[in-house]
Amino acid sequence: MVRMIGVLLFCSLCQSKLRAENYEFIWNPYCPYTCDAHLENGKEGVAIDIIKAVFKESKHSVSFTRVDSWLRAKRLIKSGFSDGMAFTFYQHGQTEQGFLTPKSPMLMVKGFAYLSLKKNQIPSFKTVDLGRFNAIGNYYGAVNSNSRLARYLAENPHKVIYVTGANILERVREMLTIGRIDIWLDSADLLHYMATKYPQFSVSESLAGNKEYGGMLFALDKPKSKELAVIMDNGIERLRKSGELEKILTKYGMPDRLAGNI
């Protein structure tokens, strides 16, 4: 009898281990959301910190693979070559067309902002103010935060430099310093984070703009995607209730704008 109980316990442990999986998530350098820890004093980014905290309470383990192209990362997810994308902004309300997203975003941003040398700063600017600048830098996501901004960038392609790939923030800093661009458009959280590193720069926020939600992306037709989305939903709810989510966001200078709304 004792031997039988021992065998059953052993088999139960084996099945538990078999059910535990390692999930591999792609990340694209976009600090403070996903960071090159070697360049950020060990900080891996708010999204990766949140994912690690969620899976710490799970039987599963996670690993992360860097892909320096945001568009290539999304294509890899859609093709099923990775279990998910660690972070992106949802471009259509709280969902991303063609992908599965958890119901609970990691964070929310509103509107857009620009980074500039202090001499170029406008304390509170409107889209029409962009006309005063000779050259504008932009990451692709910024055009989705405001329709007038998107139209201006489309109508003035000669003034706009889009940058993707590796070490975006370092390249932006260099372009601003040498005067290749006058301002850099992006999310206010990202630019405030950058200004804390480089005090010669200032951030100016727009008064108008849409809400954008940030979080993970999964392939629609991959069998494990729904399970992973549920793990993230339950985990984010648990982290918010425990106060751990606020601590992670605060570490990167962000408020929890979704507190009480989900």
Q: Residue 89's beta-bridge partner residues?
A: 214
Q: Does the pLDDT at position 13 exceed 50? A: no
Q: CB within 8 A of 102, min separation 6: which ones?
A: 215, 216, 229, 230, 232, 233, 236
Largest Cα separation within the chain, whole Å, is 84
**CATH superfamily, domain at 22-109+211-251:** Periplasmic binding protein-like II (3.40.190.10)
Q: Does the pLDDT at position 10 exceed 90? A: no
Residue with tokens 């951030």: 203
The pLDDT, as a whole number, for residue 30 is 86
The pLDDT, as a whole number, for residue 251 is 93
Average pLDDT, the chain: 85
Q: Does the pLDDT at position 237 exceed 70? A: yes
Alpha helix (H) residue ranges in 22-96? 46-56, 70-78
* Helices H / strands E in the chain, number of each: 8, 12
- The C-alpha atoms of residue 234 and residue 242 are separated, in whole angstroms, by 12
Residues in the chain: 262
The tokens describing 13, both together, are: 């442990």
- The C-alpha atoms of residue 214 and residue 161 are separated, in whole angstroms, by 24
Residue 110's pLDDT band (boundaries 50, 70, 90)? confident
Q: Does the pLDDT at position 187 exceed 80? A: yes
Q: Does the pLDDT at position 12 exceed 50? A: no
**112-206 CATH, one of 3.40.190.10, 3.40.50.970, 3.40.50.620, 1.10.150.80:** 3.40.190.10
Q: What is the DSSP letter of 31?
A: T
Burial of 3 (0-12, 13-18, 19+ CB in 10 A): exposed
> Using CA of residue 4, residue 10, residue 14, residue 20, what is the dihedral sign?
positive
Residue 133's pLDDT band (boundaries 50, 70, 90)? very high
Q: Residue 108's beta-bridge partner residues?
A: 213
Residue 23's pLDDT band (boundaries 50, 70, 90)? very high
Residue 14's pLDDT band (boundaries 50, 70, 90)? very low
Residue 136 near residue 179, CB atoms below 8 Å = no
The pLDDT, as a whole number, for residue 236 is 95
The pLDDT, as a whole number, for residue 261 is 60
Residue 27 near residue 64, CB atoms below 8 Å = yes
The pLDDT, as a whole number, for residue 98 is 85
Residue 133: count other Cβ atoms within 10 Å of its Cβ.
Answer: 15
Residue 140's pLDDT band (boundaries 50, 70, 90)? low
The mean pLDDT value for 119-123 works out to 88
Pairing of strands 99-100, 160-162: unpaired
The pLDDT, as a whole number, for residue 128 is 86
The pLDDT, as a whole number, for residue 142 is 60
Domain boundaries, the chain: 22-109+211-251, 112-206
Phi (first) and psi of residue 99, to 5 degrees: -130, 165
